[in-house]
Amino acid sequence: MKKFCLAVSILAASTSAAWAQSSVTIYGILDGAVRYTTNAGGTAASKSASLSQMVGGGMSQSRLGVNVTEDMGDGLKAIANLEHRLQLDTGTASSGTDFWRQAWVGVQSNSFGRITLGRQYNLLFDAATSTYASFKYSPYIEVFKPEIGMALTARQNNMIKYLVESGGLRFEAQVSAGENSADVGQGRSMGGLARYAVGNFAGAYVWLRSEDSAGKKVTAQTLGGSWTDGPLYVNVAWAQNKFEAGYNATANATLLASVITPIASRFAIASPAASVRDLYSAGVTYQLTPQFNLGAQYWKGKQKGLVIGGNGVLDAMAVVADYALSKRTDAYVEFDNLKTKGNLMLANGAYSRTGYMAGIRHRF
C-alpha cells in the first residue's frame, strides 16, 4: 500500500511538471474614445456637416485574444493564436465576415526559426509596426492610419509564414494559397522581409505581391527605419502599391480606407483605380516624463491614375499626447488633419477633414 501511494505521488508530481510546460494566456485591449470630425456628412449635399461620436477603438482597436505555447523540449515549442477584434462602443465584432482577425498555429525552434499557418498579419504590417511604428507607445492611430491603408488589408488568409533571426538580422517569408478551382489566384500572395537592428537603429524592407479574384496583381513595397535615443524616437518610411491594369476597381478605389470615409477619385468616377500609389511618412515621439509622451506624424501621399487627370496628392498629419495612468492604463488626446488635391477627394466630395479625439485605453 505504501508503495502504491508513493507511485501515485510520483505520477502526480510528474503530471504537474508536464502541465507546467504549457501555457495559455488571455490578453486584450479595451479602448474607447469620443471623437469630433469636420466635413463628415454622408453625401455631397451634406459634406460640410460635422460628426460627434464614440469610437470603440481610438488609438488601438479593442480586442480579445488567446496565446498558446507548449514547450516540447530540445528548444522546440508549439504555438497558436486566436484574436477577435471588437467595437467597444457597441460590443459587436469589427467585421461580420472576419470574427477572428488572427487564427493560426505553428512550431518554433531555437535553431531553425518559426513557421505558422493560418490567418495572420502580412509582412507589410510586420515591418511597419515592429520597425518604424508611427508612435513609440502605439504603432498607429486606429481611426487615422494612412500607413496601414498601404498594407494590402494588413492580414491575409491561408498563409504560411516563416521567420528566422540571427543576431540583429531577421528574415521572413509568406505564401498564401489562392484555393480557386478555376486556377485563378484569388487571394494568392507571396513576399519577403529583411530587417536589421543594431544599437539604436532598426530598418526593414518588404516586397509583397497579391492577386484579386480575377488574378490581377498588386505589388507592394515598403522601406523604412527608426532611431531611438533615450526619450527621443524618430521614424521615416516609404510605401508603394503598384496595380496591374484591370485590378479590382472597388478594392483599388481608396488611399486611406481608415479615415472614417475613404479617399476617392475626383474625376472619372466610373474608373477610379490608380496605377501607382506612394506614401512617404516621418514622425517623432518624445517622452517628457516616464508617464507623458508627445508624438507627431506626417504623411505625404501621391497617386498616379489610370486615366487622364488621374493624379492626386494627399497631405495628412496627426499629433498625440498620451499619459500613462498606470502600467496598463493610459489616457490620450489626439488631433489629425488631411487635405487632398488633384484627382483625390473624400468620398462625400470634401477636400479636407479635421478630427479631435480624447480617450482611455486599458491593456491586459
Give the H/E segment covering residue 25: strand 22-37
Taken in order 161, 162, 164, 170, is the CA torsion positive or negative? Answer: negative
Q: Could you tell me which CATH class the domain 22-363 is placed in? A: mainly beta
Taken in order 351, 256, 299, 208, is the CA torsion positive or negative? Answer: negative
Cα distances from 17 to residues 7, 12, 21, 118, 348, in angstroms, run 15, 9, 7, 30, 61
Cα distances from 310 to residues 253, 266, 269, 272, 307, in angstroms, run 12, 8, 10, 8, 5
Domain boundaries, the chain: 22-363
Please tell me the pTM assigned to this model. Answer: 0.86
What pLDDT is attached to residue 262?
46
What pLDDT is attached to residue 72?
93
User: Kindly report the CA angle at 115 between 109 and 116, in degrees rounded to 5?
Assistant: 130
Residue 104: all three cell numbers together: 493560426
Taking the C-alpha atoms of residue 124 and residue 129, their distance in angstroms, rounded to an integer, is 9
Render each residue's pLDDT in the chain as its tens digit; 364 residues.
Answer: 444 444 434 434 444 444 447 899 999 999 999 999 999 888 878 889 999 999 999 999 999 999 999 999 999 999 999 999 888 998 887 765 567 889 999 999 999 999 999 999 999 999 999 999 999 989 999 999 989 888 888 888 899 999 999 999 999 999 988 765 554 445 688 999 999 999 999 999 999 998 887 788 889 999 999 999 999 999 999 999 998 877 776 666 544 433 333 455 444 333 445 788 899 999 999 999 999 999 999 999 888 876 555 678 889 999 999 999 999 999 999 999 999 887 777 778 888 999 999 999 999 9
- Rounded to a whole number of angstroms, the distance between the first and last alpha carbons of the chain is 48
